[in-house]
Amino acid sequence: MLELYNQIEDACRFIRKQWDRQPHAGIILGTGLGPLVEQIEVEASIEYEAIPHFPKSTATSHRGRLVCGNLCGLPIMAMEGRFHMYEGYPLKQITLPVRVMKAMGAELLIVSNASGGMNPYFQSGDIVVIEDHINLMGDNPLIGINDDRLGPRFPDMCQPYDAQLIDETLAIARRENIIAHKGVFVAVAGPNLETRAEYRFLRAVGADLVGMSTVPEVVVAVHCGLRTVGLSVVTDMCLPDALEPADVSKIIATAGAAEPKLRTLVTGILQYEAARQ
């Protein structure tokens, strides 16, 4: 981890040449959820490949750029697409943008994803506010010699997702007549989808949702002291006794159809934050 500090500084210097403001929040947009950037008053748009030490996004439907500007009266940095372990990148590199957001001055991380639903009370297209997670990726972005400038050696994970923001997000959903649940998200490495036996196992250990992202970013957010809210769009139901072959195009379409609901929740969270300023 000792190389990260200089990498963060390099990335921040490059970004500040194009956008020299302090963001209140960083936003990570997952599969099919990129259109939220249309709401942003864009002041700078930077391709990931141009930013020092950022990887290139190769995942389907991930645009691959950093958008900086204003949303709901707050300065924000938004990742239009993210990186995944299955793309072959180490978790330290995947999570570097979170550390850059923190170094730029962000206080809040809003992270979204598309996921498979294992809770039978969920339906495709529903929004789930993540209340906790399980890391089954077989790796951790904090492994290595700790750099105390970035965070503590043993960060506490008793509440990785901000309880107040969970409650506020659910309240926004009720006001806007959006179906939203609370749930536990489990992260696996991918890229293959799970077997019926694996879905049974994941459900048995307490997970409501499964996906291939988010947990590394949230672990790093806790390490560096960011408040975090996580939003997941259920794009397909993963019920082992009624399992159908996964259709990636349908998954992306479901995420896209649910994006307006996600947009409403994200803007509601930022309005709540702006009112507290």
Non-local (6+) Cβ contacts of 173 within 8 A are 127, 129, 179, 180, 265
Whether 32 shows a pLDDT value over 70: the answer reads no
At residue 59, the pLDDT reads 60
Non-local (6+) Cβ contacts of 166 within 8 A are 129, 131, 182, 229
Average pLDDT value for residue range 143-153: 97
Cα gap 42→37, rounded to integer Å = 8
Q: Which CATH superfamily is domain 4-275 in?
A: Nucleoside phosphorylase domain (3.40.50.1580)
At residue 60, the pLDDT reads 55
At residue 250, the pLDDT reads 86
Average pLDDT value for residue range 145-161: 97
Whether 61 shows a pLDDT value over 70: the answer reads no
Contact 75, 106 (CB under 8 A): no
**Mean pLDDT (the chain, rounded):** 93
Average pLDDT value for residue range 74-87: 93
